[in-house]
Structure 1
Amino acid sequence: MNAREWLRTLVAFDTTSRNSNLGMIEAIRDALAAQGVASELTYAPEGGKANLFATLPAHDGAVQGGIILSGHTDVVPVDGQDWDSDPFCLTEKDGRLYGRGTADMKGYIAVALALVPEFLALKRAKPLHLAFSYDEEVGCLGAPVMLEALKRRGLRAEGCVVGEPTGMRVVVAHKGMNLYRCRVHGKAAHSSLTPRGCNAIEYAARLICRVRDLADEFRSRGPYDDCFDVPFTTMGTNLIAGGIAVNTIPDACEFSYEFRNLPGMSPDEIQGRIEAYIQDDLLPRMRRDHDAARIEIEAMPAAVPSLEASERDAVTRLARALTGDRGTAKVSYGTEGGQFQNAGIPAVICGPGHIEQAHRADEFIEIAQLDACEAFLRRLAGSLAG
């Protein structure tokens, strides 16, 4: 199948993150097996989803080294979006291919799969690897499972190209994403007896304001990196719940906050400032109202480490040489690139399509972008032939 045919096949699988991706993964596994390529599947804890990792060995059978082509198989929901066509049926119009996941990022996967026969026919001195993950859209949950399996196998790679939509530009950095759930526990009382209670909502509000104060500090004082569209670390509280009645002092309040840190800024240090405020200021004040008051903070698994590729890394130099892109592009959204980097595999982001088309109704990818990606991956494979 060519790239367009593969993309039609992949889009037809509704791999919204709440669903299983096994149908799509198994179709890819079977297609690779028919070409003599074995795949390793690593499953999510509940078993309903899987990653796929496959190696196209070098001409001498070597499987170590080489380059990983990485993409995620899950997509975001279409609920409430007004589409002009069926989001799970590839539709062509005016040089564009419409469908959920066309840009983010089944287009890249389709191109890689379409080129497998060419890759296999090429006498490569180094292997080429395919890495397709689950649950990237809900916090990059699948890639760590796959990377741990690679570590156990002792498989090493020289670099990774994550094919998120960049318009085929080379993106060398992105922010980290860190998400926390906070539960504030006070003491309920009738609102006419306010001094006998401990108002969890009000103390949660103080902590939320502290998060905002830190956000304002980063905005006004930095550090800054002007290569990002938002050049500083951001923070915010985006979800809150608490209270049962207007005449009852609430004994519980729960909220979630996130921060997206610039590469080089320690997430632990940022979170440490929040926890220091809780221990040194907020809890002592709460316990003057109620000695059993407490605050619980839970780090959510949907944490994405930042990425900052080195210009000295072989994969960065290779991507720049193959694309001719010498600019410094950095993005605020997260990818699995930081996870590969933390596992000792240098990574860059370079893929077809544009992030502006992702996640929206009538998501599309330009056919010209698929063609550019094909040319890029052909040159990449050719570079492995020495």
Structure 2
Amino acid sequence: MFDYMTLRLIWWAILGVLLVGFAILDGFDIGVAMLHPFVARNDTQRRVTLNTIGPVWEGNQVWFILGGGAVFAAWPPLYAVSFSGFYLAMLLVLIGLILRPVAITFRDKRPESGWRETWDWLFFVSGFVPALIFGVAFGNLLQGVPFHFDQALRATYEGGLLGLLNPFALLCGLVSVAMLTMQGAAWLSVKSEGEVSVRARRSGALAALLLVLLISAAGLWTMLGVEGFRIDGVIEHAGPSNPLAKSVTREAGAWLDNYRAYPWMIAAPALAYTGALVAALAFAFSAGRIAFLASSLSVSGVATMAGFSMFPFLLPSSTHPSQSLTVWDASSSKATLSLMLIAVIVFLPIVLAYTSWVYYVLRGAVSEAAIRRGDDYYY
């Protein structure tokens, strides 16, 4: 159907689509969790925020599972190194994601305000921790991760959790927190009414402007203070997967190479900035739907910008740069990629159609009046 090189590119693009889908859809769930204690000041308002995501958060979280499954099937060495090396970080993310339904469910088990407030703050933690860790992970990818292979391609990870929490990675973590806060605020501006919506718009405008500043700071740091990775010589794009068969050098500014070679990639950072600024204006003028669309485009731009900057690298090695994992030397076989692509072509449109139908059926805002009337809501 396709040659090996094209299949590798297609699966790199599919992985990007899945990550962007997760960032947009589960991103607003995470953002709502972070905003929950601040935009909702009483129990009724907090039930409003919970019910804005109640019918959809489980489906949105599936995009994260799809991303992990795509990595496992299409890029086995990437899965092995990242999920073992980032084990504690992944565990924190999973605890946060598990804490979300626990907090939502248990807050309603007892009527005492102290009990519910405790679970409300744990709900906040369930959003803040994954948002921060996701950004920290991308920050470490840009700097390189300490791992290497032996001659039998057995991977050894040489880092630890505390090593991941370096200043640049934490800055990238703040980019992620601001981005997903903006996305959550955009969702609340569409799906809520009254005081909750007003506070969400204020928070969203602030988060959008903060995102612009943080992206600028991270971009400047990447250009001047982060040594990027560059493949030396010729690499066989359709050759067998062997991360030991190449030469890689590190140099400040190397992550900008793709933008010089392919100027059209500038569309990604342009989308990130333009989307955030348009979202800020839309929040100011109470245009919730425009804010959500612009915010989603900004999220897409930020995620795509990281992928464009690193291409063809998937997981650079800071200790053994020549053993970094790339699109060309870390994939499954041609037969595996071809078979899985057929499954994607068949089932992904079904998933997208069903998701679109669910959002259409569940359209409309959640109001405090409806909560007080006891309408049939989830929480």
More strand by share: 1
- Please tell me whether Structure 1 or Structure 2 has the larger radius of gyration of its CA atoms: 1
Q: What TM-score comes out, normalization by structure 1 length?
A: 0.23
Q: What TM-score comes out, normalization by structure 2 length?
A: 0.24
More helix by share: 2
